[in-house]
Amino acid sequence: MFYLDRAATTPVRREVLEAMWPYLTGAFGNPSSTHGIGDAAARGLADARASVAAVLGCRPAEVVFTAGGTEGANTAVKGIALAAPRGRHVVTSAIEHEAVLESCRYLERFHGFDVTVLPVAPDGRVDPDVLVAALRPDTTLVSIAHADNEIGTVQDVPALAAAAHAVGARFHTDAVQSAPWLPVGLDVLGVDALSLSGHKLGAPKGTGVLAVRAGVPLEPLVHGGGQERGRRSGTEDVAGAVAVATAMTLAAATRGASAAAATTTRDAVLDGVLAAVPGAFVTGSRTSRLPGHASFCFPGVNGETVLLELEQRDVVTSSGSACAAGSTEVSHVLTALGLPEAVARTAVRLTFDAGLAAEDVPVVVRSVAEAVEAVRSLG
């Protein structure tokens, strides 16, 4: 079987499970407790925080452990906008994850913020000049993802963040999809806050990180005992923190080689499918694209039906964001590219790691071509 849905989730790595185990057994204590078992948990939490900071190139005090990318995005968007706003204007893009878009809508509905949603080019990129034109004296926050999960397009976040900073606005980026492949960090990207998810990196679901630059005010979503320096109350999930820290460290250690290998495979998949399937076209950017990400539209067929045909051929993949699975609505990302709804419903996304070998590519391409042809033959 070929599992080609890694943008949705990844299996937990054995090294991550082994790193977690002590904090689920002997060192299971509450890290706020003052006895020996609590101290062992506190040391594990501190070590995990230091490891994450090392990967992100920030201070341990700038790391907040979360329950995943959605919580991280919500905390960054709402927390920064509400803590010390310059004004009540936020800017985002039309292809953001629902966690960001819904957070912006929350600010609009309940706190009187004005939200500007930037258009994107047909390849999914945000033009920095378009952002500059949208910025206002009362803009307090810009939130634009580093890379998109549906189409794989990578944004020029350093340029976008610099534009926001030029008018005094803060900048948050959702790095959930880019963290497995690209260098990410507050200084690397020039951002004020960055959120990521553990289960895209080989950690369990329900783990994540929000990095917030020192000095950036942040209103917490969860109030209580003041854990995580008052930014996220509640007893810390030490095993989860160790898991995401271990996964991030492992990913960073092999990132360059893995990205290079997956990029070569990606290009072979893109070219192979385009040659094998008449009428197919790639969604997203060909030049500014995540490694291990190949996404297509197949006009005239239903993408969900193609997925069923692919699974019959032992290729497991998806049509887009798993967060919208089961929804009858067409992808907002694909329509933002200017695609008609009927065409957007033909989308198929193949996402994989460096383990997809060169000799596997012809098998995958043939399976895609056969699946599309099978659906077309149904009329």
Residues designated as active site: 323
State how far the Cα of 260 lies from the Cα of 26, in Å rounded to an integer. Answer: 40
Q: Which of 54, 53, 26 is nearest to 40 (CA)?
A: 26
Contacts 24+ apart (CB under 8 A), 39-43: 41/238
> Which residues are CB-contacts of 25 (< 8 A; sequence separation ≥ 6)?
none
> How would you classify the pairing of strands 293-297 and 281-282?
antiparallel
Q: Which of 90, 62, 292 is nearest to 181 (CA)?
A: 292
DSSP string, 233-300: -S---HHHHHHHHHHHHHHHHHHHHHHHHHHHHHHHHHHHHHHHSTT-EE-S-SSSB-TTEEEEE-TT
For residue 290, give both structure tokens.
């995540």
For residue 38, give both structure tokens.
């609590």
Q: Please give the sequence-ordered ranges of beta strands (E in DSSP) within the chain, or none if there are none.
A: 2-3, 63-66, 89-93, 114-118, 139-143, 170-174, 193-197, 208-212, 281-282, 293-297, 315-316, 347-351
Helix or strand run (H / E) with residue 126: none
State how far the Cα of 10 lies from the Cα of 205, in Å rounded to an integer. Answer: 9
Q: How many helices (H) and strands (E) does the chain have?
A: 12, 12
DSSP string, 203-228: SPTT-EEEEE-TT-----SS-SS-TG
